Amino acid sequence: MRNKLFILLIAAVLFLSACSSTPTVAPMPTLDPIAKQGQAVFNARCATCHALVPDTIIIGPSLYGIATRAETRVEGQTAEEYITMSILRPGDYVVEGFNNVMITNLAKEITSEEMNSLVAFLLTLK
């Protein structure tokens, strides 16, 4: 009787542990060295206002999936062009529902290498 009860208890614990209510977020892809540098730039300069998880708003829109959305945001622009221009001229690329509060001189505050690596990192966020 004790063994049956013990087995049922173990089975119940295993069953319930499989019923997690915590949503899973896709893991970050393995980054090449340039995108890895861009991730560091993002963490230092952008993460204060932009989240990388879906449906999370800090100040600006979440950048989860930005590479995919950027492909179709402006007709005639590639995702890379859209992301670059939205950093260089943020007032021209304000997402509906958000205010034009992004700093306008970021491109002057980071090197061109940092800018290129930041764009490379954002392009990994599909």
The answer, yes or no, to whether residue 86 has pLDDT greater than 60, is yes
CA distances in angstroms from 120 to 27, 66, 90, 124, listed in the order given: 17, 12, 18, 7
- Residue 16's identity, in one-letter code, is L
pTM of the model: 0.76
What share of the chain has pLDDT > 70, as a percent?
Answer: 77
Please tell me the predicted confidence (pLDDT) of residue 107: 84
The tens digit of pLDDT for each residue in 16-45 reads 444 445 545 556 669 999 999 999 999 999
Q: Which CATH superfamily is domain 33-122 in?
A: Cytochrome c-like domain (1.10.760.10)
Would you kindly state where each structural domain of the chain is located, as residue ranges?
Answer: 33-122
